[in-house]
Amino acid sequence: MKKIVCLLVMSYLFQFTVTAQQTIPFKDGEKLTFTASYNMSGFMTQLAQVTMETSEVKTKKNTLYHFKCRASTFKKFDAFFRIRDVYESYVSRSSLLPLLYRRDIQEGGYKKKMKYVYNQKNKTIKSTQTKRRGNGTDWVQDKNFSFSNRAMDVVSTLYNLRNLPIANAKVGDTKTFKILFDRQETPITIKFVGKETINAGNLGSKECYKLQVLTSGDFLKSGTLWLTADANKIPVQARFTIPIGSGTLQLTKAVGVAN
């Protein structure tokens, strides 16, 4: 499931002029709900629910956006392979650059946590990784590392994509960028394919930007993402192929949208 969530957010920059958005495409209270399906024995089976929520968090100095993504298997599949994954990113409201990232993975008997504390000025991250041993004890590992300019975790990446003026892109435009995952920067190339009308759950049929994901990574063979071609740029569908199969994320409900 962590691969499914990661796929959803693997889109970021194109070869067009990036200017500040006049209208932010999300706001406090937005919640997007998706169904995750996977090809099992030739049949696409709905296995889990994925939610993405936006809220505002006030600190002593600033007000931040809190982006939270959760993935949970439906109860009937819990006995087979229970998944309860949480991804969170806290970003500056002005720059949309992340300040804090947390990931909590619970998949079957596997448990892992990751925390990034960003220093955007020095381009360094203080990370803490916690893994559960077979005997029930935790192994904690702290590590500091550097990152490239505007490299981000998977959650903040998607929301930054939504804030870009994609309407300025031309068919065939591409951009290679990097996502921070497990303390490594993964190169991803995004290609703007055009527009298609896609089922967007309770929003009905929507004209969408179609984005192709190109990568030489070992966990993703191919992927496609659709965002609504309007001021909200809501992700409505993602299709992916990985070495062990293929799957789909489909928007079923969007509430609290900004525009």
Q: How confident is the model at residue 12 (pLDDT cuts 50, 70, 90)?
A: very low
For residue 13, the model assigns a pLDDT of 38
Q: What is the pLDDT of residues 131-181, one digit of tens each?
A: 998 888 999 999 999 999 989 999 998 898 898 888 889 999 887 778 898
Q: How confident is the model at residue 1 (pLDDT cuts 50, 70, 90)?
A: low
Q: What is the pLDDT of residues 31-67, one digit of tens each?
A: 999 999 988 677 789 999 999 999 999 998 899 999 9
- What is the C-alpha to C-alpha distance for residues 106 and 151, in angstroms, rounded to an integer? 26
For residue 135, the model assigns a pLDDT of 86
Q: Give percent above pLDDT 90 in the chain.
A: 64
For residue 8, the model assigns a pLDDT of 44
Residue 7 reports pLDDT greater than 70: no
Choose between 2 and 232: higher pLDDT: 232
Domain boundaries, the chain: 2-254
Q: How confident is the model at residue 217 (pLDDT cuts 50, 70, 90)?
A: low
| Chosen CATH of 2-254 out of 2.60.40, 1.10.8, 3.60.40, 2.40.360 | 2.40.360
Report whether 3 contacts 219 (CB < 8 A). Answer: yes
The whole-model pTM stands at 0.88
How distant, in Å, are the alpha carbons of 26, 154, 208, 227 from that of 231?
Answer: 9, 22, 11, 10
